[in-house]
Amino acid sequence: MKYDEARQQIKSGDLLAWSHGGWSNWHDIEVSLVRIATQSEFSHVGMAFVLLDRIFILEAVGAGVRLFPLSREIPFYWIRRPKERLSEEAIAYAFSVLGDSYSKWQAIKGFFNKLRLGEDALWMCGEFFLAILKKDDEVLTNVATPSGIVKAAMQRWGSLTFVEV
């Protein structure tokens, strides 16, 4: 699906996912090695957030927990969340941790299913996504890896759509 078509349908709370596979810089190499080690198709997840007709990603990345324009991260995968909107509590929670730190250690703990959501001010992408859902009274999965989240969302919410320019 083309981004122009998808952006009219994406709503706050939808799952966004990425599957990087390059070797051109240190970040790409690092992501590819993690994907190989974890036998994972997906390397990153975030949550869509719509504000003033713009779509952003609520995500935890190396720079920390942030709100970032989705249009700058195309291509991506998208799964519609059946629930119509995020609760005010979930939105307030997500915004309250903006600027918190990202932790590779959290990502490792998530892979081994040893992560307790929101137990500290350190985040990895899947943990942040699931913590927001929890504030919206939804438990999607207890597996905080990107592939675990995508798999659970496909089983409970529906199909995966590839979005490109």
The helix or strand, by DSSP H or E, that contains position 36, with its residue range, turns out to be helix 26-38
Segment 14-65, tens digit of pLDDT: 999 998 766 777 767 766 666 665 667 898 899 999 999 999 999 999 899 9
pLDDT over 70, % of the chain? 87
Alpha-carbon distance of 155 to 165, in angstroms, equals: 27
> pLDDT tens-digit profile of 99-134?
999 887 776 776 677 777 667 778 989 999 999 999
Q: Does domain 3-163 have CATH number 3.40.50.1820?
A: no
Distance CA 163, CA 122 (A): 30
For the chain, give the percent of residues with pLDDT over 90. 65
With beta carbons less than 8 A apart as the criterion, state whether 60 and 124 touch: yes
Q: pTM (2 decimals)?
A: 0.90
- Amino acid code (one letter) for 58: L
